[in-house]
Amino acid sequence: MIIIRTEYIPGGFFAQIVNRIFEILLKLEKHNIYPYFEIHSDLYGLGDNKEIIPYYLIHNYDYKTNNDVKFDPIILDTFSYKSENDNIIFDFIEITKKWKSTPSTLVEGNRIWFKYFDFSLNIKNEFTKLHKELFVDVNILGFHYRGTDKMGPEVRKAYSESYYIHFDETLKILKKELERLRTNKLFIATDDSNILNAIKDKIPNVTIITLNHEYDTTPGVPLHRNPKNQHADDSTKYKICSSGIIDALLLSKCRCVIKYASQLSAYSALFNPYLQVYRVNKCNYSWFPENRIKDYEN
């Protein structure tokens, strides 16, 4: 069996873990390689080895038999490896340096992702339950707010992941899109509950749909840098990571999504590549799939 083993990845689930795995899938497919991914994460990994699989993701193929196909031996000639209990172990970082290749479209990204991975049964069951309970109408506008730790100040002083946009401008966009869709239902994915009252005040007839997260957040501090979460127990880690995945999946079921720059909501467009998705503030990076999201134009 081929095993691709990561280091202990320090960052967020979508921007670091999923994105980095994504970068090598097309090359693996080209060479008929269907490995076991041993993915370790400092923040989200569970168990003694802090693993992502099978708690959040599962393989969508039979890795024990290499999906019943013969793999291209080029991988043995291209990368160093070691034998361990009759398995062939490759270093993830080494492979990413030579076999980095991202999809050109969201449709292609959707295809290759679900060829290699799916979400765990627990996450799919929780998502299905929440989708049925919350989305009683198919005509729902989605909104992902992640401004406090992603967005720079109004006067730029240093690098930030995205450009500043005043929240009043965002409120105007939300009101306009609700009117365009002829709905008053707004699903909000956020870890900053302070925005909910502002939305209710400015859009008084809106029906807000959102999830209450069962973990601590600190405005201005990303979850993967929050000291409260660095040494959390496995139960808290699972709540943090699974809630982000479910938010992305619920966003993918909306009719249209208005988003701040963030890979979490960018992946909602990959999970549903025909979704209308617009970003309200420009980002300072060009990672897939964020680089396939259109800027909102008034």
pLDDT of residue 159: 42
Distance (Å, rounded) from C-alpha 150 to C-alpha 107? Answer: 27
What is the largest distance, in Å, between two alpha-carbon atoms of the chain? 64
pLDDT of residue 155: 46
In-domain check, residue 22: yes
- CATH classification of the domain holding 143: 3.40.50
Tell me: the pLDDT tens digits for 130-141?
A: 999 999 999 999
Residue spans of the chain under pLDDT 50: 155, 157-159
Whole-prediction pTM value? 0.92
Distance (Å, rounded) from C-alpha 257 to C-alpha 106? Answer: 15
Question: Is the same domain home to 13 and 159?
Answer: no
pLDDT of residue 231: 73
Asked, as a colleague might, if the bond just before 273 is cis with ω within 30 of 0, I would say no
In-domain check, residue 128: no
In-domain check, residue 124: no
Distance (Å, rounded) from C-alpha 61 to C-alpha 117? Answer: 8
In-domain check, residue 129: no
Question: Which residue, of 64, 91, 119, is where some domain finishes?
Answer: 119
Question: Is the same domain home to 155 and 270?
Answer: yes
Tell me: the pLDDT tens digits for 212-250?
A: 876 555 555 556 566 666 678 999 899 999 999 999 999
Question: Is the same domain home to 59 and 168?
Answer: no
Question: Is the same domain home to 103 and 151?
Answer: no
Question: Is the same domain home to 97 and 156?
Answer: no
Distance (Å, rounded) from C-alpha 250 to C-alpha 247? Answer: 5
pLDDT of residue 225: 60
Question: Which residue, of 93, 119, 145, is where some domain finishes?
Answer: 119
For the chain, percent of residues with pLDDT exceeding 70: 89
Domain of 50, in residue numbers? 2-119
The residues near 9 (Cβ < 8 Å, ≥ 6 apart) are: 16, 17, 20, 39, 40, 41, 42
Question: Is the same domain home to 79 and 161?
Answer: no
Question: Which residue, of 119, 151, 176, is where some domain finishes?
Answer: 119
Question: Is the same domain home to 66 and 151?
Answer: no
Question: Is the same domain home to 181 and 65?
Answer: no
In-domain check, residue 283: yes
Question: Is the same domain home to 250 and 170?
Answer: yes
pLDDT of residue 23: 94
Residue 48, class by beta-carbon neighbours within 10 Å (0-12 exposed, 13-18 middle, 19+ buried)? exposed
pLDDT of residue 158: 42
Question: Is the same domain home to 262 and 151?
Answer: yes
Amino acid at 193: S
Question: Is the same domain home to 88 and 205?
Answer: no
Question: Is the same domain home to 196 and 255?
Answer: yes
In-domain check, residue 130: no
Number of domain units in the chain: 2
pLDDT of residue 179: 97
In-domain check, residue 126: no
